[in-house]
Structure 1
Amino acid sequence: MASKPMTKTQLVAALAEEGDMDKKAAGAALEGLISIITREVSGGGAVTLPGVGKIYCRERPARTVRNPATGEQIQKDADKVVKMTIAKALKDSVNG
């Protein structure tokens, strides 16, 4: 079984160590990156993180879904969903 996911605190500490900076600067850099990605994707664009993947927004058409509790068919409106395509380099490093 896989280990627990890395927390934000652990990520900031690792980023600070890797980038040879203090934790405050690493936290600000992470918050800035999150802000940029959020702004770009919510505006309909996409962000490519080299070696990691591409984050983008995709529109889903209106469709009929089933309520699992009652079995009733419900019409669901069109909506948007955030997707991520993983980079080949990351896939290869995990599988190789």
Structure 2
Amino acid sequence: MTTKTITRANIVATLRHETGLPQTECEELLKSVLDEISDSLIEGETVKISSFGTFAIRQKSQRMGRNPKTLEGFMIAPRRVIAFRPSAKLR
């Protein structure tokens, strides 16, 4: 199975082809959507996109880590991470 990376340029090209809008409008549209998702996640909100999936912020607690080369232990600080759960249609 070959894997392909979808880039912003790919999405803009697809939007342009599907909608017939000018490239600059498609770029602005994509930027607006991504900015809205980012801003919502930064504020701690969950973003649910129907038939696609749900983005949410998860809190990771402090934990022990280990340097595999020296086997020295150290504490990994607590942090926030983005989690994505695909919808049933994507699974």
CA distance in 2, matches of 1:15, 1:8: 10
1:94 aligns with none
1:67 aligns with 67
CA distance in 2, matches of 1:5, 1:56: 23
Structure 2 residue matching 1:89: 3-state secondary structure: coil
- Cα deviation, 1:45-88, whole Å, max 9, x if unaligned, reads 11111111111110011111111221111111211101100011
Letter in 2 for 1:38: S
Structure 1 residues not aligned, in runs of 5+: 92-96
1:40 aligns with 40
Query: What aligned pairs does 1:11-50 form with structure 2 within 5 A after superposition?
Result: 11-50=11-50
Q: Are 1:2 and 2:32 matched, yes or no?
A: no
Structure 2 residues not aligned, in runs of 5+: none
Q: Offset of 1:24 from its aligned partner?
A: 1.1
Q: Which has the higher helix share?
A: 1
CA distance in 2, matches of 1:75, 1:63: 6
Give aligned pairs, total: 91
CA distance in 1, matches of 2:44, 2:62: 19
Q: Structure 1 runs of 4+ off > 4 angstroms?
A: none
Structure 2 residue matching 1:21: 3-state secondary structure: coil
- Cα deviation, 1:30-49, whole Å, max 9, x if unaligned, reads 00011111110011111111
Structure 2 residue matching 1:88: 3-state secondary structure: coil
CA distance in 1, matches of 2:49, 2:2: 24
CA distance in 1, matches of 2:22, 2:70: 54
The percentage of counterpart residues that share the same residue type is: 23
